[in-house]
Structure 1
């Protein structure tokens, strides 16, 4: 109950505080390339329930048909000019405050994956990670904040993600799910804001 209340407070405050920035980003996206402002994709939420995540669109409209479901950072050829700027500052994640308000996500929690990758989880990982709401930020997101660049440098980015990155992210997610509290969430929010501010 305390976590949900904190989520609602942060989501409302964030949407109010960042409203001018989000409006400016929306206008820039529409002026830069054809297509919708938001990118919506099916992810797996708490209890295995699917939901559609909100992000600012940073790629061309047909990007999902032109490459893998992972993104190779700002060097990905599918990323638009404005999209590179948005991604470099992590502003593409701001619309997920809407998902927090809806109850599909939390401010802090394991990053939600697409069904394809969740199907690769072990039974133990699935039970633990999907026992909590997915979040906008978590320890894995901080540890792999340069994930796109890491994958772009790999000979086979998708294999690198599945065999190297995803197992480590799952360990972070399982550890978080086991010992998450309001206080650990507040510390993670503070760390995330520090990363956003200092780069």
Structure 2
């Protein structure tokens, strides 16, 4: 695992992205720079085109889940992801060709042919790099070895032991250190079997302890000087899973949460990000929204838009705007209800709108108004917030940041319709509150495309 701006990403995913970007740049550059003809690109223009296409290819691959091991370690996921990457890459390649006025000279007779060539090159790089990484990952090169101290939790102790069956796991246990061995260390300057040299010879770079402070200071210093990281089990599991342990949260944990203490510069960049993305989405989807509104009007009686009270930042009540996807008498009894699978209250058009998330588009108006952010915990209804706050510890803590159209919980957990589901989603929401950054926002934004494409968690 590699930490970037407080968020941990799998090492092979980062290495894959970098390798993909370098290879894609080289292939596109050679393809464009080697063309001949009056309109063929020069060296600078070829480099610009290669850079744009390398970034575009990375975004398209990430949006289809091709940077996640689950997206490229199985044949079906690899083929589906490659096909979807090609579909997403084509308009990006067209935009690059039009922006740079690229003509591949003798190798192409029209911009359309250039787009096909460039898209095929980028897609080929995506497929090739993943086939290569598939073989490398099975050797265990990207699997990091850890030492685990006795007393660690069940979840941590279930990490696979060192061996060929664990080659594709992000971590595997190479050594278990007993409490007796640790006690014998005491204040000794050198401890047989536990010194930095011995750990490094076994490929160990992490030591996970229930309480790092209980490890003798001599060992901590010895490991630190050798680049071996000692980390608490709570932090380790949080980084590994991308979610917090609600039972392990301290009463005043928000005092150190990044999301609860944003600097003015961060708040300005975040607001600019929200406005830019929301305006772009609003303009790009305006024809789609108009068609959806017409379909709603034809399909069922009632208003096109639906406004509902939700709880925003700091407990403030906001009015959420969505395209109506249910009958007008969906809550005739007056009591709020969880949406269920194949909910009979959902209209025919509404089912499609929910499946594709088109019903969520009007929420950009809430973002532009400032009631919401583009990225953040989903805003809940006041009645549900009251119920869940009584049943789940720290549930109210999610309100320290603005609610969002999409969030870390939405791209990692399916739609929730129960108290237990809400608890699971809260573990992701509070992870976002703790480690919020523009980098994490960008990851969520790209992952949201994957969720929409694969129709994950819709009801």
Q: TM-score, normalised by structure 2?
A: 0.39
Task: Give the alignment's Cα RMSD to 1 decimal.
Answer: 1.6
- Residue 141 in structure 1 maps to residue 410 in structure 2: yes
Farther-moved stretch of structure 1 (134-143 vs 46-55)? 134-143
1:68 Cα shift?
A: 4.5
Give the Cα separation in 2 of the matches to 1:21 and 1:132: 30
Give the Cα separation in 2 of the matches to 1:84 and 1:124: 33
Corresponding residue for residue 71 of structure 1: 339
| Runs of 4+ in structure 1 over 6 Å off | none
3-state SS of paired residue (1:84): helix
One of 414, 431, 449 as aligned partner of 1:193? 449
Report 1:12-161 matches (<5 A).
12-65=279-332, 68-73=336-341, 75-119=342-386, 120-121=388-389, 124-126=394-396, 128-145=397-414, 147=415, 151=417, 161=418
Report 1:158-197 matches (<5 A).
161-162=418-419, 164-197=420-453
Give the Cα separation in 2 of the matches to 1:196 and 1:85: 12
3-state SS of paired residue (1:104): coil
Give the Cα separation in 2 of the matches to 1:103 and 1:69: 27
Report if aligned partners of 2:314, 2:400 keep a CA contact under 8 Å in 1: yes
3-state SS of paired residue (1:139): coil
3-state SS of paired residue (1:143): coil
Give the Cα separation in 2 of the matches to 1:71 and 1:125: 20
1:116 Cα shift?
A: 1.3
Corresponding residue for residue 157 of structure 1: none
Give the Cα separation in 2 of the matches to 1:124 and 1:58: 31
Q: TM-score, normalised by structure 1?
A: 0.87
3-state SS of paired residue (1:110): coil
Give the Cα separation in 1 of the matches to 2:452 and 2:352: 13
Give the Cα separation in 2 of the matches to 1:64 and 1:97: 25
Report if aligned partners of 2:336, 2:383 keep a CA contact under 8 Å in 1: no
Greater Rg by CA: 2
Give the Cα separation in 1 of the matches to 2:346 and 2:366: 23
Structure 2: gaps of 5 or more residues: 1-267
1:77 Cα shift?
A: 0.6
3-state SS of paired residue (1:140): coil
Give the Cα separation in 2 of the matches to 1:167 and 1:177: 15
Give the Cα separation in 2 of the matches to 1:175 and 1:116: 24
Higher relative contact order (CA 8 A, sep 6+): 1
3-state SS of paired residue (2:377): coil
